[in-house]
Amino acid sequence: MKFNTTDSRLAISPARAAAFDILLRVDREGSYASELLHSRRHQGLSVVDHSLATEIVMGVLRWQSLLDSEIAATSSQSVRKLDPEVLTALRLGLYQLRWLDRIPSRAAINESVELVKHANKRSAASLVNAVLRKLAAENTARTKEPAPGINSLSAANITATLAHPLWLVERWQQIYGIETTFEICRYDQSIPKTTIRLRDSQAEPQLTADNINLAPGSILAGARIVRHGEITKSTAFGQGRCVIQDEASQLVAAFVGHGESILDCCAAPGGKTLAIADHDPNANIVALELHPYRARVLKKLLNAAPASASGSGNVHVIAGDARTLPISARFERVLADVPCSGTGTLARNPEIKWRLKPEDLADLQGRQIAIIRSAMRRVATGGRLIYSTCSLEREENEDVIERALAEDSSFGVVECATEIERLCREGELIRPCSASLTRGPFLRTMPGIHSCDGFFAAILQKA
C-alpha cells in the first residue's frame, strides 16, 4: 500500500507510511520485514526516514504480544475482530507511545488515525483515536528491557515480559534451562549488531577512510562489528570488499575447510558460498538453489565480487532441488545449510515467532531429512558433509543427524571441537577455544550467550 505523502491532507510521514505498508505485507503475504525494508519499493527513503521505519517495524514485531495485550484491555472490540489495517495502525501508534520517547504523542496518534483513513477504514478512525488517546493518558512508558529478575524466572513471566509465545519458551526451558532461555529471549528483543566479514586487506582502511567505526569480532579474525557509520554507503561495501554476515554464519562456512571440489546444496542468498570461495579460491564449487530467481540473484552477487578479493569466478550456480540433486559427481566437501524454522535469528526476524507453530517442525524435519539423504550420496570417500541450521530446535538438528546416521553407517561424526581447534591454530578463530561453542560433538551458538545468531552444525565424514 503506497501513500502520497506529499498530500497535506494526509499528514503522514514517509517513515510511518513505509512502516505501515511493510507491517501489513508481513501479516498478509508472509514476507520478511528485513527484506522489505531493503527492497526497491522503499529505497527512496532518506537515511533518517529509513532508520525510523526500521525502528517502528522491528519494534512492533518484537513486542507484538505486549502491544496487543494493551490494545485488548482498552479497545471496545476484540483484537481478533479488528481489521488488519486497524490493528496495524494501533500497534504502530502504541509502539511509538511506549518505546520512542522522542516522538510526540500527538504525532503518533494523529498519523495512526490518518493511516486507517487512507487505508479505506475511515469508519475505524474514531476507534483508533480513542484507544491511542486513552493509552497515551496512562503514561506508562516502557524501559528498553522490561524483564523479570533472575530469581523470579518462569516460562510464564518471560512470555509476559519479553514477548515470546509460551510454547516456544517452555520448550527452550526444557532443552536449555530457564536461565539460558531468559538470555535467548532478552537477546531476541535487542537490536542486533551489524557484523561484516572483511574479504581482503584493503577493506578495513577503506572503511576507516569512509568514517565507518569498527570493533573486532567476538569469534572470527575476519569479522568486524560496525559501531558507527552507514556501511552500505561505503566504498568498500560497494566494491564488494566486505559483506554483511553474522559471525555464526561465517563460522559455519569456515567449517567447510579446503577441498578440490565443494557442493553448496542450499546456496542462496549466498553469504556462505562467497565465504567458502574466499577461503578456498582454487576449489571447484557448485552452488545449488531451488528457486531460479534466487539463483540469478546469487549469480549477480558472485559476479559483483572483485577478482582480487575472491575466487568466486570458479563458482558454478545451478537451479535445482537439493532433495533430488541434479548432479552425479561426488565432492570432497558438501555443505547442507538447510531451510529451517529460523528460531536462532529472532532478533533479526521477529515475525518468525508469531508465525511458527509446533506442528511446523515435523514438516521442516521431513524436508531436512530428504536434503541430508541426498547430500550424503554426493560425498566422496573420505569427504565431509557439513549440516547446519539457524534453528534452536532439536527436531531440526540432533534428531536429523541421528536419523541420517542410522540410515547410512558409512558416515561418522567428526567432533566440532576438533575443527574449532584447527581454526584457532590457523588464526581464523580469535575467541578462546572453549566448550561454550559446542554442545556434545556439535557446534551450537546461542543468542544471548554468544553475540550472534543461534546456529547448529554437525560434521559427518564418509569412510
Least confident of 138-142, 217-221, 328-332, 454-458: 138-142
What is the pLDDT, as a whole number, of residue 40? 87
Flag whether pLDDT at 221 surpasses 70: yes
Domain residue extents for the chain: 14-138, 150-188, 247-462
What is the pLDDT, as a whole number, of residue 1? 57
Read off the C-alpha cell for 258: 579446503
433 is catalytic: no
How does residue 131 score in pLDDT terms, banded at 50, 70 and 90? very high
How does residue 9 score in pLDDT terms, banded at 50, 70 and 90? very low
Total-model pTM: 0.93
Residue linked to cell 514477548: 163
Flag whether pLDDT at 435 surpasses 90: no
pLDDT tens, residue by residue, 160-219: 999 999 999 999 999 999 999 999 999 999 999 999 999 988 899 999 999 999 999 999
Flag whether pLDDT at 311 surpasses 80: no
Q: Count the neighbouring beta carbons within 10 Å of the beta carbon of residue 426.
A: 10
pLDDT tens, residue by residue, 35-73: 999 988 998 899 899 999 999 999 999 999 999 999 999
The CATH code of domain 14-138 reads 1.10.940.10
Least confident of 107-116, 384-393, 426-435: 426-435
Report the length, in residues, of the chain: 463
pLDDT tens, residue by residue, 338-397: 999 999 999 999 999 999 999 999 999 999 999 999 999 999 999 999 999 999 999 999
**124: which residues sit within 8 A by CB, 6+ positions away?**
82, 83, 85, 86, 116
What is the pLDDT, as a whole number, of residue 436? 86
Nearest 5°: the CA angle 98, 104, 107 is: 100
What is the pLDDT, as a whole number, of residue 147? 54
- Distance (Å, rounded) from C-alpha 219 to C-alpha 428? 9
What is the pLDDT, as a whole number, of residue 185? 98
| Third-level CATH fold of 247-462 | Rossmann fold (3.40.50)
Which residue of the set 390, 416, 424, 433 is catalytic? 390
- Distance (Å, rounded) from C-alpha 221 to C-alpha 197? 9
pLDDT tens, residue by residue, 19-31: 999 999 999 999 9
pLDDT tens, residue by residue, 244-270: 999 999 999 999 999 999 999 999 999
The mean of the pLDDT values for the chain is: 91
Flag whether pLDDT at 100 surpasses 90: yes
**39: which residues sit within 8 A by CB, 6+ positions away?**
none
What is the pLDDT, as a whole number, of residue 304? 72
